[in-house]
Amino acid sequence: MNLNTTSLAKGEINVTSSKGLPWVGLLALAMAGFICILTESLPAGLLPQLAKDLDVTEALAGQLVTLYAVGSLLAAIPLTAATRGWRRRPLLLLCIIGFFVFNTVTALSSVYALTLAARFFAGVSAGVLWGMTAGYARHMVPDPLKGRAMAVAMVGTPLALALGVPVGTFFGNHVGWRLIFGTVSLLTVALVVWVLWKVPDYAGEPADVQLPFHKVFFIPGVRPILFVVLAWVLAHNILYTYISPYLAETALAQRVDLVLLIFGITSVIGIWVIGLLIDRFMRLLVLISITVFALASVAMGIGIAQPAIIILGVTLWGLTFGGAATLLQTAIAQAGSKSADIAQSMLVTAWNLAIGGGGIIGGILLELLGAGFLPGSLFILLFFALLIAWQAKKHGFPKGS
């Protein structure tokens, strides 16, 4: 392995190799993402047990998911801005230790208010971590491998959704939800050791080059990417949040688990394909992904009576959305350049807004038009996302990327 720079006096080591990816270090970042998503999503599958143990209704137990998202939403931009001058590895470790503390509190708490507070601060840890992960991964490799490094660092997300959450829910129903959250805490302890062992440290952004928030927002390319994030992720979450009501009107009404498994597996395949191609064809991959998702959504709306068409639509949906985070984070990291971490925090905020908006807008569409209309309604959002991505030829999603 060729070390480009070694500065032991500053504690900064660049492990960039011209021969390949630093897999062990990148997979540590992927594991951090896996724990983020697992922490966020586990309560959704364990609501009855949580509600019973905390002596609240399932609706109130559901706010454990909401408070996590609120913590991420509120923390992403201000805390990323406040910490962008910090060294990267200590900040990463602080976020991981935050998951250990707050998941442990969640596992041990019998007081609803305390559990809510723990969930909120776990979300704060996630907001900061997501704001720095992309830049961290890109630091670890030379320019020709930055997109591929991002794909590896992001693989924890689809793996958590496809495997971690279903497995955690299954065992939580048999051994209790507290043991599952305790297990996640143990994973964070192992991750701390992993990070200290194999993840290099880097300096933060020097104070004299730190752009104010509003100037980062007006960097060419940042706003089109954020619009695409909102439209694309909003479309995804409208359908994903209400997939059960949609399937209830089809012959797959009793196979929600199978449909979600197909989505999860194809998402993992999608991020693998994106990882192979992103460094050469980022713009093309974005345009293809949005277009195919739009066509799949139309097919799922028209072919609601045909299970084979629905399965095909879900497969294409998973393949095209699995790599969405990698594509969008790579694009905004390139656009943000030296202010990439602040740009990433904007992306995290937009992403969380889209998640919340998916629940609200999807619920309104469900009540007004019925579940069968949901897939077709995505086409409008995806059309505008495609239009903005297509027009962002110079900045955002430039030609030749």
Q: pLDDT, tens digit, for every residue of 110-150?
A: 999 999 999 999 999 999 998 888 889 888 988 888 888 88
pLDDT digits (tens, 9 = 90+) for 255-264: 877 888 888 8
**Per-residue DSSP letters for 269-315?**
HHHHHHHHHHHHHHHHHHHHHHHHHHHHHHHHHHTTT-HHHHHHHHH
Domain with CATH 1.20.1250.20 in the chain: 5-209, 213-391
SS3 11: coil
In this structure, what token pair is assigned to residue 111? 């007081």
d(CA 143, CA 200): 17
Cβ atoms of 163 and 39 closer than 8 Å: no
pLDDT digits (tens, 9 = 90+) for 263-276: 888 988 998 898 88
CATH domain 5-209 topology? Growth Hormone; Chain: A; (1.20.1250)
Please state which of the four CATH numbers 3.40.50.720, 1.10.357.10, 1.20.1250.20, 1.10.760.10 is assigned to the domain occupying 213-391.
1.20.1250.20
Q: Which residues pair with 7 in a beta bridge?
A: 12
pLDDT band at 11 (very low <50, low <70, confident <90, very high): very low
Q: Which of 185-189, 214-218, 219-223, 376-380 has the lowest mean pLDDT?
A: 214-218
